[in-house]
């Protein structure tokens, strides 16, 4: 979906924040466009310092709003044990890349709704901030003009800034809540259908169909705008339509495939007798009796009750000084990341987009009490798909 590569800006609580090169195009375009709008609002030239500074602040506020929106998704996903690999800003906004899909209607709904909830909060912040400066009545008039894409030469620059940011976030909120999968509204619709029917595959198929319908609607509206002379808006809306339609079509195709394995659970195809390392043995024994013997890069670690404690990586064990290996226990070194294991009653199709399955080649399967019941590998998932 993202084109031309990306580069990292910074990290937020371990989440990589990156921008696609296409993001620079829209950044410069927004600054250029908003310089003229603020110039009209302040009755100054668009190249004057004040309009340019306000345009830059608007662009920063706009993309900052999108970033906060995506972080809302990421932090909501983290509460449900779903990791976020990265957040990328690009020409059409932003996207949070999660390491797996939600495993319940509730988690799907909460993750999907978290972004719009953040945007709604930003609208309130910008509106209250502008009202605190200009007064509620006057700011309401400025905000109304912003919604109507007009300017007010009598409005102060900072007030205009807050009104534009409130207006843009209002439009983003309304657009995102359209039930067009894979947009937020479409994911919320999928969660609700999933909850009502109890069938994730059916919910995805219905939501994808709605997404394709909205995609065609966006394309038609874009063509109508182009025909009326609004070339930029028409092309922009048409491209969004193609993007939504393509993503929904991909989801529909995947659903057609996964519908054949919707009754298959992890427990049906997993290896039920994986080699495990007891958590109370020394690192020295783990290296000698497991890593040197089997030549595997990692092993699941369990306690005396066979509860899964985490993974022990060979590199982590090798980092322990030789003089300390006999006195160091395996349980002290495990990686207990929740994304490394799944319940053994999880539908197999829920693993198709699991990034950790692709990264490690396998996931640990546990029962309802947290005991290790097996290991599911990417080869086993692929075999199940081929059989289907």
DSSP states of 201-213: HHHHHHHHHHHHH
User: Please, which residues bridge with residue 341 across strands?
Assistant: 364
- Give the HSE-up count for residue 62: Cα atoms under 13 Å, Cβ half-sphere: 26
- Residues contacting 306, CB < 8 A, separation 6+: 276, 371, 372
pLDDT digits (tens, 9 = 90+) for 27-61: 888 888 888 877 776 777 777 888 888 889 988 99
| 184 vs 101 pLDDT, higher one | 184
Backbone region of residue 14 per phi and psi (left: phi > 0; alpha: psi in -120 to 50; beta: other values): left
pTM of the model: 0.72
Provide the pLDDT for residue 2: 44
Q: Is 153 helix (H, G, I), strand (E, B) or coil?
A: coil
Provide the pLDDT for residue 159: 77
Residues in the chain: 388
Check pLDDT > 50 for residue 19.
Answer: yes
Kind of pairing between the strands at 15-20 and 308-313? unpaired
Radius of gyration of the chain (CA): 26
Provide the pLDDT for residue 388: 67
Integer Cα distance of 73 and 188 in angstroms: 12
CA angle 167, 170, 174 (to 5 degrees): 145
Mean pLDDT, all residues of the chain: 85
Kind of pairing between the strands at 93-98 and 277-278? unpaired
Provide the pLDDT for residue 139: 56
Residue 309: pLDDT band by 50, 70, 90 thresholds?
very high
Check pLDDT > 50 for residue 87.
Answer: yes
Integer Cα distance of 307 and 145 in angstroms: 61
Q: Which of 234, 231, 188, 195 is nearest to 211 (CA)?
A: 188
Provide the pLDDT for residue 147: 45
User: Which runs of consecutive H residues, i.e. helices, occur in the chain?
Assistant: 21-42, 49-79, 105-134, 136-147, 157-176, 184-197, 200-227, 231-258, 266-269, 283-286, 292-294, 314-318, 355-360, 378-387
Provide the pLDDT for residue 100: 77
Provide the pLDDT for residue 140: 61
Lowest mean pLDDT among 61-65, 128-132, 153-157, 286-290: 153-157
């Amino acid at each position: 979906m993202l084109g031309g590569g990306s580069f990292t800006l910074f990290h937020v609580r371990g989440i990589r924040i990156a921008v696609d090169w296409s993001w620079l195009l829209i950044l410069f375009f927004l600054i250029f466009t908003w310089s003229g709008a603020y110039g009209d609002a302040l009755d100054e030239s668009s190249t004057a310092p004040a309009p340019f500074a306000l345009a830059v602040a608007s662009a920063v506020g706009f993309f900052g709003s999108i970033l906060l929106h995506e972080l809302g998704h990421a932090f909501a996903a983290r509460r449900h044990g779903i990791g976020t690999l990265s957040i990328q800003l690009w020409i059409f906004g932003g996207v949070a890349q999660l390491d797996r899909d939600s495993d319940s209607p509730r988690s799907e709904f909460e993750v999907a709704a978290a972004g719009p909830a953040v945007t709604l909060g930003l609208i309130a912040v910008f509106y209250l901030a502008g009202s605190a400066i200009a007064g509620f009545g006057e700011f309401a008039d400025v905000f109304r003009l912003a919604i109507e894409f007009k300017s007010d030469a009598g409005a102060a620059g900072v007030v205009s800034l807050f009104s534009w940011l409130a207006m843009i976030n209002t439009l983003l909120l309304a657009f995102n809540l359209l039930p067009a999968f894979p947009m937020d509204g479409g994911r919320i619709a999928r969660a609700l259908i999933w909850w009502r029917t109890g069938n994730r595959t059916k919910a995805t198929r219905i939501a994808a169909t709605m997404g394709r319908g909205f995609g065609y609607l966006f394309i038609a509206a874009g063509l109508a705008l182009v025909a009326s002379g609004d070339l930029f808006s028409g092309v922009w809306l048409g491209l969004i339509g193609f993007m939504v339609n393509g993503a929904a079509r991909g989801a529909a195709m995947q659903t057609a495939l996964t519908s054949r394995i919707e009754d298959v659970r992890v427990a049906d195809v997993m290896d039920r007798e994986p080699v495990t390392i007891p958590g109370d043995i020394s690192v020295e024994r783990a290296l000698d009796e497991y890593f040197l013997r089997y030549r595997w890069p990692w092993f699941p670690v369990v306690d005396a009750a066979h509860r899964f404690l985490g993974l022990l990586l060979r590199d982590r064990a090798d980092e322990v000084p030789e003089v300390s290996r006999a006195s160091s226990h395996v349980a002290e070194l495990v990686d207990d990341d929740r994304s490394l294991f799944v319940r053994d009653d999880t539908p197999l199709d829920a693993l198709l987009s699991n990034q950790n399955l692709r990264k490690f080649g396998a996931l640990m399967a546990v029962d309802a009490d947290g005991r290790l019941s097996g290991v599911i590998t990417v080869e086993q998932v692929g075999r199940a798909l081929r059989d289907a």
